[in-house]
Every structure is written in structure tokens, then in C-alpha cells.
Amino acid sequence: MTNIGPLRTAVVIGSTRPTRLGRGVAEWVATDPNPDLDLVIVDLAEMNLPLLDEPQPPAWGNYSHESTRAWSAVVASFDAFVLVTPEYNHSTSAVLKNALDHLYSEWSDKAAAFVGYGIDGGTRGVEHLRAICSELSMAGVGPQVSLSLGLDFRDGRCSPREDQVAARGRMVAALARWGGALRSLRSTPERVGDETRPTLECPELRPRAAAAMNQLIAGLQAGLDNADADLFDASFAADVIWGSPYGATLNGIDALLTVHRSLMATGAAPASRFRIVQLRAAAPGVAVAHVQRQALGEAGEGFSEMALYVLVERNGRWWLAAGQNTPITNPPSR
Ligand SMILES: Cc1cc2nc3c(=O)[nH]c(=O)nc-3n(C[C@H](O)[C@H](O)[C@H](O)COP(=O)(O)O)c2cc1C
């Protein structure tokens, strides 16, 4: 999300059928030349979101699935949205509703514009979509684009009439106005004095960062399961910085491996499962994550930890640059 320059605006393709018209519609929308918007196509077909499977309501923002966290990072990185929806049975598509339902605060206080298409211009689909977006505290701009299957498509391709270009222009101009106004509403915590805090997440880097972090976790899991410190530390850089849950700090793999070999020999860490709690793909070749080690078995049988891990890519391989472990305990009572 940005506070200066053009509004980072997602053009969300709301259909995923293999023969869909939606992709062509979104591509046409993204050609609008308005300089106040940076239009980026977001294809739900590439997001692979399952039907909503989060145990907790999205409004709590406590996501347990990587698919949700990835979608959250993508949506959070945008200032505004153009939602491109087909009309299915007089409503919007299930896939777009599902994508909206997955998140909550990531949509809030952001402007939305609507492009509908269908036999009658997709207006009934857009009406439903407007109501849904309103519940998510999105500001839906009035001007919209309604493309008719009979008049704005030719040979299965999006080929809008001339006056649709003007309608698109009115719509994105309204989106730029409202999106700009809402940016200041959202901006307070993002400013430090005269400076703007940057959003570090780069959605396009996320799949590689997530794969690297999962590979690290697989090594930790195998190391712990086999009581093998060398396996556990196989992805650690030579100059890794490590913090134990009790405040001791270690510098470098030699010191760390010595400690881990001795801990593995005494079985200090209980049988556990590792999982990514949250991940930041902050820059090319940099991944930062909270990783939980949850002790298995009855409560109290072993201690669990929350680690902060930093991975850095070097020559095509990812290495642990830093790790800090914190024991998971009950907070002190007040
Ligand atoms: C399940 C389904 C329901 C549809 N219902 C409507 C409808 O209620 N009104 C309408 O105008 N078109 C309807 N259509 C036609 C779609 O608007 C048209 O097929 C359009 O290309 C769908 O978008 P897509 O190709 O991006 O999936 C329906 C199509 C599908 C597949």
C-alpha cells in the first residue's frame, strides 16, 4: 500500500472458468491511461484459494492457512480495486464472493469500482457485489461499466463499444478521487513524522519465499524427528545469528551446532510440529517468518516456541541468516 504517487489498484478477475471472458475484460480495463492509478491485474485463477476453510472469522485477522495469508498480503498491498464480475444467476460469481469473504480489514477503507458483464450488462451481479463490498467497509464509486455479451464482445473477445471507453474513464476517475481521499484516512499509522512507512511485502516474490521457508521447516522437522543436529542445522548459514529462548545468543554455525548436538543427545526438545504463522517476502532473496514449534502430546508435556527466522538466498540456495526463539508461556497476570 502506498501513500504517494499513483494508487496501487488491483483489477480483480472474478471468474476462473477455462473459457472465461473475464480475463479479456480485465485486460481491457487495465489499459485505461488514467495517470492517478497504477492498474495491476490480479487473477483469482492463480490464487488457488480453497472454499473458505479458516477456523476463525476473517474479521479477527488470525489466519491459519498459508493460502489465506498469501491472499491477505496481496490484498493489503493495494490501495483500491476494480472488481470485474460476470453475472451468474443474477449475482456475482461464487469465486469472487469467496475471495472477498476470506479477508476483512485488508478491504476496509479502500475504494472499489465495478465492471460487470453478462447478457444484460451484468448489472444484477454488480448490485449484489456493491452490497457485499459495503459490508466490508469499502467505498463503491457510482460510475460503473456494464458490458453486454451481445454488443461488447466479438468472436469470444472483449471488444467494447466506443462509449464504453468513456464509461471506463469516468469510473476510474471516480476511483482515483475516492481512493485518494481514503488514502489519507488510512495513512495515520503509516506515517512517522514526515516520512511514510513502506510496505515491504512483494506479492510476486511470495511463492518463492514461502517455498524456501517450508524447506527450512522440513529440515528442522526431519532433524528433530531423527534427533540429528546436523540435519536440523543443514540450511543455517556459516555466520548465522541465533537467539535461544532463554536469552543466550550464539554467533556462527560452529557454536550453534555444538549446542544443538548436545541438546539432541539429551532429547531436550519434545516431539513437535513446525508451522509458518506469518511470512513476509520483503525483498528479492529475503524471507522473514514467524515459525511456531508446537510440542505434541498432552498440555504441559513439553515446551513450545515461537521463532523469528530470516532466510537469505545466496547462489540459488536459501540460508538461515538469523533465528530468535521465544518460549510460549501464559502472559503474566495483571
Ligand atoms: C453459471 C452461469 C450462470 C449465468 N447466469 C447469467 C445470468 O444470470 N445473467 C446473465 O446475463 N448471464 C448469465 N450467464 C452468462 C455469463 O454472463 C457469460 O457466460 C459470461 O461469459 C460469464 O463470464 P466468464 O466467461 O468470465 O465466466 C451465466 C453463465 C454461467 C456460466
Mean pLDDT of 104-109: 95
Per-residue pLDDT, 327: 92
Q: Quick one: which of 3, 8, 5 has its CA closest to 202?
A: 8
Average pLDDT, the chain: 93
Average pLDDT, stretch 257-280? 91
At residue 188, the pLDDT reads: 58
299 pLDDT higher than 80: no
**Nearest 5 degrees, angle CA 64-CA 329-CA 105?**
35
The pLDDT confidence band at residue 238, using thresholds 50, 70 and 90, is very high
Beta bridge partners of 289: 279, 309
Query: How far, in Å, from the CA of 153 to the mean position of ligand 1?
Result: 13
pLDDT at 333: 61
24 ligand 1 Cβ < 6 A: no
Identify the pLDDT of residue 183: 86
Ligand 1 in contact with 20 (CB < 6 A)?
yes
Percent share of the chain, pLDDT over 70: 94
User: With pLDDT > 90 as the criterion, what percentage of the chain qualifies?
Assistant: 82
Q: Give me ligand 1 centre to Cα 258, in Å.
A: 64
pLDDT in tens, 149-182: 999 999 999 999 999 999 999 999 999 999 999 9
The pLDDT confidence band at residue 197, using thresholds 50, 70 and 90, is confident
What is the number of the ligand 1 atom nearest to the C-alpha of 23? 26
Number of the ligand 1 atom closest to the C-alpha atom of 120: 11
Beta bridge partners of 113: 82
Distance 88 CA to ligand 1 centre (A): 5
CB 157 near ligand 1, within 6 Å? no
Q: Which are the contacts of 301, defined by CB distance < 8 A and separation ≥ 6?
A: 270, 295
> Which residue lies with its CA nearest to atom 2 of ligand 1?
88
Average pLDDT rounded to a whole number, residues 300-309 = 86
Q: The C-alpha cell of 210 is what?
A: 514461502
Whose Cα sits closest to atom 29 in ligand 1? 88
Say whether pLDDT at 258 is over 60.
yes
**Rounded distance from Cα 86 to ligand 1 centre (Å):** 6
Beta bridge partners of 141: none
Phi and psi angles of residue 303, each rounded to the nearest 5 degrees, phi first: -90, 150
Per-residue pLDDT tens for 133-143?
Answer: 999 999 999 99
Section 61-83 average pLDDT:
92
| 21 CB near ligand 1 (under 6 Å) | yes
> Which pLDDT does position 240 carry in this prediction?
98
Return the C-alpha cell found at 263. Answer: 541438546
Q: How confident is the model at residue 218 (pLDDT cuts 50, 70, 90)?
A: very high
Mutational test site, ligand 1, from 87, 151, 153, max ligand atoms within 8 Å of CB: 87
Residue of the CA atom closest to atom 3 of ligand 1: 88
Least confident among 1-5, 163-167, 178-182, 241-245 = 1-5
Residue-range domains of the chain with CATH: 7-196 (3.40.50.360), 203-327 (3.10.450.50)
Instruction: Report, as an integer, the average pLDDT of 40-65.
Output: 93
pLDDT at site 61:
87
**pLDDT at residue 302 above 90?**
no
